[in-house]
Structure 1
């Protein structure tokens, strides 16, 4: 059964430009994304053509500077666009979030020369990015990564720091969304000693010699979004593609993840909203015992709880976004939003399957897909157990040993 376009959500948008932007996104969703979402997910088709369309429409660089091809939109607006896209198809919404994450390092820590050279193509030139932090043996413990970047050539600057030459990257990255199909990768690699201080960020072209992707993982959901290991076999990258200072990479990564977690939160609410829409449509139309099943109190209370969790999650991620837009600390609130919204999505999608009963367990309706997709959102950008650790550290300080 083809997916219906998501039901419009009444949004609180700060400007007329933002309202026009969301209207554009809804038009693209209704015409290009929703009608083929179920079929393409089932076939494992990655909709590169949709990302090209989004780039042409200026939707791949919304939170970034217009001087480099971005949209100059606050995160409050960008996240609501993500929610709209994820409600139609998570592969698209999450893909835009990952692309934005991959642009974060260069936009926030690159030199003006680097930004001028690379950002216009990354933000509005049809390119698609990926973010390479995790490895087979370092997931939640990201600071223990083992991929190495070794300097080859170059000299010493007047300050005594090495500069110029190339870096040679060797190692394996894992769980990379868009792995093997991205045009560029933001890669975190070890350039110094153990721990967080020995990590540096690099911008690696997708066609770099020595870079290859493994066969994509076989996943329970998001089959249209390729997730693969990346192998770096002596990949040579010029020092001009190093982002930030040597040893600054882990701080850059954490900064990106704070923003990325808000993207995941918005995507989770999009999936949850789509599930609630399906459950409502079914419950008001399905007749049992001579009346719609939506008349029965047990089911009505489920629907009320689902809607409440969605509204609460949306308010939480928007509150965190407004802190970010105001230049205030938002790391704790980002972790809370990611935790709450993704747990809510898992509960709402599971309840949506229950509302549809036996039909909910079949692929004839999209709620079973929503449930499978919601699960990964509790894992990516830091598991929800990690989010609880982050929140607790903000509240009580670091753990004592």
Structure 2
């Protein structure tokens, strides 16, 4: 623990020194430089103080999210600036070594002066994440996108050809602070007029009380002809805070499960139901959370007990790693799995149909959008809400509309 604190302190000092050097190269006004130093120290003191005040019995609060946003807003740009100037220093060290040891030039200073141009480039590059993070906090976190996905299945029952499903996931109601924006998102959900709506978990950050101000809002989600179903996410178990007693933790867990019913969603807890249309039916299966690095309460065998191998199956499982580790090669042939959980890290670059990148891809093999393995699919929703960082950059909050089609998928 002490080593990590010392290491982090050294890194922060290096970052601050390099950032100040870049500013000093471009600006000569003493009062500006002094003001910058004072502000930097005050911000650092506030960040340290806020983290020291973190109460594990409470968990994430508006202040912790503000602090996390401030950390990213201040130190990501400074880190980029540091890397640029560090690169210049390595170049200056190499050039100085050549002059001194190879060319034996004693009249030239070993280290050349820091170039103003490099500092300008560094500050320009640093401005990109700085402005992006501000956008993510002020606009991006509520910049809802409706993403439509058509998926073909050769063995889809005839009556379900063209059947539509709206999926939402990762609401994280404890993070919300703008009723107007949330009502707008609910309007978007209703406008899709899907046959069925599925909610793949994480209704709160930790405490059932977080959802209480939003129950009426989410009850505005209209009834869907073929139902409203949900499963639990990892945050719904209340495992990221310290509870005074196990009884208090269990009471909160029961209250969270009840929340889904209070907004008129049928919660599937390692169980299944059949959706019937005409003379055909499909199996809808819901498991509790199963995560490679999180709670493993999901039991796919229990949930699908009595479901036939030839039945067309849609599975709701919050964490896409469940699909990767257990579902995609399962003997029962789960045709389509709907997940969430990753949020796409709430930060990345996405050009629909051409390119997408996020740090999430280094943690999850399936992290946003549609993935396929031997004719079995998983769709990973990018999330309705936000958590930890109070914003979204590049990876926007998502309302998914999936259309089931009979036939072969066209590449």
TM-score by length of 2: 0.26
Larger-Rg structure: 2
Larger relative contact order (CA 8 Å, sep ≥ 6):
2
